[in-house]
């Protein structure tokens, strides 16, 4: 059964810098928010921190997506059941519209490396990732969305392309895809593939959410730093993608050099503009 995703319109990755604005009055340009799950989950053996109260106040007005960075779905480590139980507590408290994490690994032998690291796309990795996603969905009692990564190296041992790997994961687990258009662009420049061909290979009906973000450049590599405005090439790719797959819940991720609201809102309004050009 294919998943169905509601188009929630235009959203924002809500960060502490925006809390006071959103607590005062929800900006009319934003119809949902995404937060980083780990910033609101309770610590092991503890109750929720005060940040949850802020989130619940925002939640009174807007749907919330929970976006995790530590699921570690690609690691050879077993799933961290304690982490999943704490995530489940947050899900029960917030009733989120979407729960997502990344197609990557973030640690091994119990160590969290605090980075989203790339995977070799092999039959063995596919078995590992699909078994773990199926178990995560069982434990959480809901569908997970996985995000395509931005990568800075590729494995010569890979036997599948990234879109082939993602297609297999979606088919085998019925999870959804969080399509990060900037990640596709960053990887396409770093590895020299065609970004549109990559996106054309993805199943549109499995795409439940879109990320847009800025990146930086270091020694010829594009790095997914979320500390700059979305670049013109990524806007063009997003416009083309929306024409291809239709309107999907789309949002801005900004984690560094966060500008004043009026400036950040220009990017939110630009998503509105792109979506208004699309008939469906
Ligand atoms: Fe992203």
CA of 116 to the centre of ligand 1 (A): 11
Contact by Cβ (8 Å): 68, 37: yes
Domain assignment of residue 109, yes or no:
yes
CA of 177 to the centre of ligand 1 (A): 11
Domain assignment of residue 120, yes or no:
yes
CA distance 40 to 53: 9
CA of 158 to the centre of ligand 1 (A): 23
The tens place of each residue's pLDDT in the chain, 280 residues long, gives 444 799 999 999 999 999 999 999 999 999 999 999 999 999 988 899 999 999 999 999 999 999 999 999 999 999 999 999 999 999 999 999 999 999 999 988 888 888 899 999 999 999 999 999 999 999 999 999 999 999 999 999 999 999 999 999 999 999 999 999 999 999 999 999 999 999 999 999 999 999 999 999 998 899 999 999 999 999 999 999 999 999 999 999 999 999 999 999 999 999 999 999 987 5
CA of 85 to the centre of ligand 1 (A): 24
The CATH number covering residue 239 comes to 3.20.20.150
* pLDDT score of 11: 98
CA of 94 to the centre of ligand 1 (A): 21
Domain assignment of residue 4, yes or no:
no
CA of 211 to the centre of ligand 1 (A): 5
* pLDDT score of 185: 98
CA of 213 to the centre of ligand 1 (A): 7
Domain assignment of residue 179, yes or no:
yes
Phi-psi category of residue 95: left, alpha or beta, with phi > 0 → left and psi -120 to 50 → alpha: left
Domain assignment of residue 3, yes or no:
no
* pLDDT score of 280: 59
Domain assignment of residue 22, yes or no:
yes
CA distance 247 to 68: 24
Strands 216-218 and 221-223, bridge-based pairing? antiparallel
Number of residues written out for the chain: 280
Q: Kindly report the pTM of this predicted structure.
A: 0.96
CA of 30 to the centre of ligand 1 (A): 18
Domain assignment of residue 82, yes or no:
yes
Q: Which residues surround ligand 1, an ion (CB under 5 A)?
A: 180, 211
Number of structural domains the chain divides into:
1
Q: How far, in whole angstroms, is CA 129 from its chain's centroid?
A: 17
Q: Residue 244 is part of which domain span?
A: 10-276
């Amino acid at each position: 059964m294919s998943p169905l995703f509601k188009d929630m319109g235009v959203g924002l990755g809500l960060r502490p810098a925006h809390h006071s604005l959103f607590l005062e009055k929800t900006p009319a340009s934003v119809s949902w928010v995404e937060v980083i799950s780990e910033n609101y989950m309770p610590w092991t053996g503890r109750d929720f921190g005060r940040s949850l109260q802020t989130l619940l106040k925002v939640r009174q007005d807007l749907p919330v997506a929970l976006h995790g960075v530590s699921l570690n779905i690609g690691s050879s480590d077993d799933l961290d059941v304690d982490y999943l139980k704490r995530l489940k507590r947050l899900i029960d408290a917030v009733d989120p519209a979407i729960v997502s994490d990344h197609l990557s690994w973030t640690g091994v032998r119990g160590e969290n490396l605090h980075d989203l690291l790339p995977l070799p796309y092999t039959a063995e990795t596919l078995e590992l990732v699909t078994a773990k996603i199926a178990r995560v969905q069982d434990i959480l009692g809901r569908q997970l969305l996985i995000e395509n990564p931005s990568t800075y190296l590729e494995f010569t041992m890979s036997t599948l392309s990234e879109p082939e790997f993602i297609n297999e994961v979606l088919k085998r687990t019925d999870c959804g895809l969080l399509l990060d258009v900037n990640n596709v662009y960053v990887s396409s420049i770093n590895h020299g593939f065609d970004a549109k061909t990559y996106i054309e290979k993805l199943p549109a009906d499995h795409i439940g959410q879109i990320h847009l973000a800025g990146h930086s450049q270091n020694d010829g590599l594009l790095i997914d730093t979320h500390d700059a405005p979305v670049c013109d090439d990524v806007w063009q790719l997003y416009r083309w993608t929306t024409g291809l797959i239709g309107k999907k819940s789309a949002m801005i991720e900004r984690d560094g050099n966060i500008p004043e609201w009026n400036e950040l809102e220009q990017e939110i309004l630009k998503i509105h503009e792109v979506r208004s050009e699309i008939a469906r």
